[in-house]
């Protein structure tokens, strides 16, 4: 034998311990490794990763890309890992960069080199999008349930307060009286639209399978993407591999839907805060959803409503963060995309948490009829009725508006309400006023006189309540 060769030859034994070890001779800097790791966040995708891998391996076995026996071996071990997850027995190792590498590492501990066959014809790039879509499907269902619970609370309160009046506002100035139930159902409508957005996601972007796009170009293995889709419950498969691995529109759509929830939470919460103030006194938040002050003994603050209002900031922030990550990003996969999960998880958790606290907060609100009606006496909320009265007599609405405006100015100077103006006085402001004006400017009349579909008219609000009850409490009879 000659002298020992000094040139380095590729070593089969010395490895950097990574899936890509073949291409590397040096280990990753631990600081870089820590910076790149995403396991802390994406560990929650583990059950979805296992389900997606089960389907992928099943398809590989059926297509004879790996043997049936190998497929079975891998699938049995994936099931075992699922049981470990359910029993909280998954222990991450320092080298586990993300959830996908953790699963593969654990699989190879269980079955050795055959574990390496699982990754045939796929890449983490299409795998992670698949996991994320499966996770988001579940999250959407949770959010829909929560949004329906909020709507049910609003319906119950609306049913409890049929016939109660409150001032409706524009510009936060008294505008026209409405039923309290109409106001509650107004907030409900916003949450119904939110619910519909998550439904649309479920049948839209989240119903399209990414797996099979592989790293970016597809694969030379004879895979059957439709079979994988079918196994995982997706109705469609994505059409362009390059688009598939770089697309996070579904995350943005999800974040946008959450941001809109935040808009709606904050608008409702703001009114709860405002209306529970001493100045309004329309409602009181239950003690269970309020806090006192460490210094001012008299205080009962609506902190939970304030936090609901405040937390919408995070939702807008996360949408903006991911929009910024995606802007100008070249096709296809870039590691920047890993940032999707931080934004999506935080926003989803925030809304899910809010949806847990909001229904009981709403259920326990106490409304104060006297204060609501007192507030309706102020600010001439039936002035439009007087103008409509004239318009019904054939007076052009603009002329009617001006006449009633003069009447209001006069009444304000006299510190009178419109109900206290005599017919004679009304006729002084416009000769076309008829005796009926005296009833028309009454508060209750202002509500009952409404005729349009969707208005605050009692029959309209009752019909709306009936529709919402039917939609939100299917199978239950109206408890009248
Ligand atoms: N942890 C990665 C992510 O969330 C998975 C995909 C990694 N792919 C890659 N080519 N480095 O995006």
Tell me if 108 sits within 8 A of 19, measured CB to CB.
no
Model confidence over 366-380: pLDDT tens digits?
999 999 999 999 999
Q: Angle at Cα 226 formed by Cα 220 and Cα 232, nearest 5°?
A: 115
Model confidence over 414-430: pLDDT tens digits?
999 999 999 999 999 99
pLDDT higher than 50, residue 3? no
Is residue 389 annotated as a catalytic residue, yes or no?
no
Kindly give the pairing relationship between strand 236-237 and strand 283-284: unpaired
Cβ 252 under 6 angstroms from ligand 1: no
- Using CA atoms, how far apart are residues 76 and 70, in angstroms rounded to an integer? 10
- The pTM of this model reads 0.93
Q: Which two tokens stand for residue 335?
A: 């590691």
Q: Identify each DSSP E strand in 163-318 by its residue range.
A: 165-170, 173-179, 208-209, 236-237, 283-284
Q: Percent of the chain scored above 90 by pLDDT?
A: 90
Question: Where residue 145 falls among pLDDT bands split at 50, 70, 90?
Answer: very high
The pLDDT score that the predictor gives to residue 14 is 53
Q: Which two tokens stand for residue 471?
A: 């939609």
| Residue to probe by mutation, ligand 1, list 125, 244, 334, most atoms within 8 Å of CB | 125
pLDDT higher than 80, residue 12? no
The pLDDT score that the predictor gives to residue 182 is 98
pLDDT higher than 60, residue 480? no
**What residue has token string 């001779």?**
25
- Using CA atoms, how far apart are residues 374 and 338, in angstroms rounded to an integer? 56
Question: How much distance in Å is there from the Cα of 409 to the middle of ligand 1?
Answer: 69
125-221+233-368 has which CATH code?
A: 1.20.200.10
Mean pLDDT taken over the chain: 94
Q: 210 to each of 161, 230, 243, how far by Cα in Å?
A: 49, 13, 10
Cβ 128 under 6 angstroms from ligand 1: yes
Boundaries of every domain in the chain: 35-120, 125-221+233-368, 374-464
pLDDT higher than 90, residue 347? yes
Cβ 58 under 6 angstroms from ligand 1: no
The pLDDT score that the predictor gives to residue 2 is 44
DSSP state letters, 196-209: HHHHHHHHTGGGEE
Model confidence over 56-83: pLDDT tens digits?
999 999 999 999 999 999 999 999 999 9
Cβ 334 under 6 angstroms from ligand 1: no
- Mean local confidence (pLDDT), 470-475: 94
Helix/strand/coil for 123: coil
- 478: DSSP letter: -
pLDDT higher than 90, residue 241? yes
- Using CA atoms, how far apart are residues 224 and 412, in angstroms rounded to an integer? 78
Which segment of 151-165, 282-296, 448-462 scores lowest on mean pLDDT?
Answer: 282-296
Question: Where residue 479 falls among pLDDT bands split at 50, 70, 90?
Answer: low
Q: Which two tokens stand for residue 104?
A: 């593969």
DSSP state letters, 28-93: PPHHHHHHH--HHHHGGGHHHHHHHHHHHHHHHHHTTSS-HHHHHHHHHHHHHHHHHHHTT-----
Helix/strand/coil for 280: coil
pLDDT higher than 80, residue 13? no
Task: Annotate 401-419 with three-state secondary structure.
Answer: HHHHHHHHHHHHHHCCCHH
Cβ 231 under 6 angstroms from ligand 1: no
Question: Where residue 292 falls among pLDDT bands split at 50, 70, 90?
Answer: confident
Question: Where residue 140 falls among pLDDT bands split at 50, 70, 90?
Answer: very high
Alpha-carbon torsion, ordered 439, 441, 442, 446, to 10 deg: 110
User: How many helices (H) does the chain have, and how many strands (E)?
Assistant: 19, 6
DSSP state letters, 284-311: E--GGG-B--SS-TT--B-HHHHHHHHH
Domains 35-120 and 125-221+233-368 share a fold: no
pLDDT higher than 80, residue 116? yes
The pLDDT score that the predictor gives to residue 1 is 43
Q: Percent of the chain scored above 70 by pLDDT?
A: 96
Cβ 364 under 6 angstroms from ligand 1: no
Model confidence over 188-239: pLDDT tens digits?
999 999 999 999 999 999 999 999 999 999 999 999 999 999 999 999 999 9
- Using CA atoms, how far apart are residues 100 and 341, in angstroms rounded to an integer? 14
Question: How much distance in Å is there from the Cα of 248 to the middle of ligand 1?
Answer: 13
**Catalytic position from the list 171, 278, 294, 452:** 171
Question: How much distance in Å is there from the Cα of 334 to the middle of ligand 1?
Answer: 8
Given the CA of residue 215, which atom of ligand 1 is nearest to it?
Answer: 10
Alpha-carbon torsion, ordered 401, 402, 404, 407, to 10 deg: 170
Question: How much distance in Å is there from the Cα of 340 to the middle of ligand 1?
Answer: 11
**What residue has token string 């895979």?**
223
Tell me if 172 sits within 8 A of 379, measured CB to CB.
no
Closest-CA residue to 430 (of 396, 466, 400)? 400
Model confidence over 244-256: pLDDT tens digits?
999 999 999 999 9
Pick the more confident residue, 7 or 246: 246
**Catalytic position from the list 15, 235, 277, 293:** 293
The pLDDT score that the predictor gives to residue 9 is 53
pLDDT higher than 70, residue 6? no
Start-to-end Cα distance in the chain: 100
- Mean local confidence (pLDDT), 444-459: 95
Model confidence over 452-461: pLDDT tens digits?
999 999 999 9
Is residue 171 annotated as a catalytic residue, yes or no?
yes
The pLDDT score that the predictor gives to residue 29 is 92
Tell me if 392 sits within 8 A of 447, measured CB to CB.
no
| Residue to probe by mutation, ligand 1, list 45, 128, 132, 331, most atoms within 8 Å of CB | 128
Question: How much distance in Å is there from the Cα of 67 to the middle of ligand 1?
Answer: 28
35-120 has which CATH code?
A: 1.10.275.10
Given the CA of residue 98, which atom of ligand 1 is nearest to it?
Answer: 1
CATH topology of domain 374-464: Ribonucleotide Reductase Protein R1; domain 1 (1.10.40)
């Amino acid at each position: 034998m000659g002298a020992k060769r000094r040139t380095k030859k590729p070593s089969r034994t010395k490895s950097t311990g990574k899936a890509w070890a073949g291409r590397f001779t040096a280990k990753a800097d631990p600081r870089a490794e820590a910076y790149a790791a995403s396991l802390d966040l994406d560990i929650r995708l583990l059950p979805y990763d296992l389900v997606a891998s089960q389907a992928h391996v099943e398809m590989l076995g059926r297509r004879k890309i790996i043997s049936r026996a190998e497929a079975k071996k891998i699938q049995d071990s994936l099931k075992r890992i699922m049981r470990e997850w359910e029993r909280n027995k998954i222990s991450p190792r320092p080298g586990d960069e993300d959830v996908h590498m953790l699963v593969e590492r654990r699989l190879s501990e269980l079955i050795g080199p055959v574990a390496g066959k699982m990754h045939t014809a796929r890449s983490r790039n299409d795998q992670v999008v698949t996991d994320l879509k499966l996770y988001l499907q579940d999250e959407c269902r949770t959010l829909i349930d929560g949004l329906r619970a909020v709507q049910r609370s609003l319906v119950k309160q609306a049913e409890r307060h049929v016939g109660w009046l409150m001032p409706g506002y524009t510009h936060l100035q008294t505008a026209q009286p409405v039923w309290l139930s109409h106001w509650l159902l107004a907030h409900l409508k916003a949450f119904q639209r939110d619910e519909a957005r998550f439904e649309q996601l479920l049948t839209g972007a989240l119903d399209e399978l990414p797996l099979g796009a592989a790293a970016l170009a597809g694969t030379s293995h004879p895979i059957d993407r439709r079979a994988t889709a079918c196994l995982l419950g997706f109705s469609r498969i994505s059409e362009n591999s390059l688009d598939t691995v770089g697309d996070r529109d579904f995350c943005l759509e999800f974040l946008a839907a959450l941001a809109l929830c935040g808009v709606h939470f904050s608008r409702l919460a703001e009114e709860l805060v405002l209306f529970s103030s001493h100045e309004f006194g329309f409602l009181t938040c239950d003690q269970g959803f309020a806090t006192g002050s460490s210094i001012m003994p008299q205080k009962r603050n609506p902190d939970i409503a304030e936090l609901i209002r405040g937390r919408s900031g995070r939702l807008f922030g996360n949408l903006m963060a991911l929009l910024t990550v995606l802007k100008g990003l070249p096709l296809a996969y870039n590691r920047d995309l890993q940032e999707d999960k931080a934004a999506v998880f935080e926003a989803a958790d925030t809304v899910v948490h809010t949806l847990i606290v909001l229904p009981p907060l709403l259920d326990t609100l106490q409304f104060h009829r006297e204060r609501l009606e007192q507030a309706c006496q102020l600010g001439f909320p039936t002035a439009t009725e007087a103008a409509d009265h004239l318009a019904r007599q054939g007076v052009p609405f603009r002329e009617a508006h001006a006449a009633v405006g003069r009447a209001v100015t006069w009444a304000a100077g006299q510190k009178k309400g419109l109900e206290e103006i005599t017919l004679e006085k009304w006729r002084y402001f416009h000769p076309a006023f008829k005796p009926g004006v005296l009833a028309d400017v009454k508060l209750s009349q202002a509500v009952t006189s409404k005729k349009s579909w969707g208005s605050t008219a009692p029959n309209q609000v009752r019909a709306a309540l009936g529709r919402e009850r039917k939609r939100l409490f299917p199978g239950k009879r109206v408890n009248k």
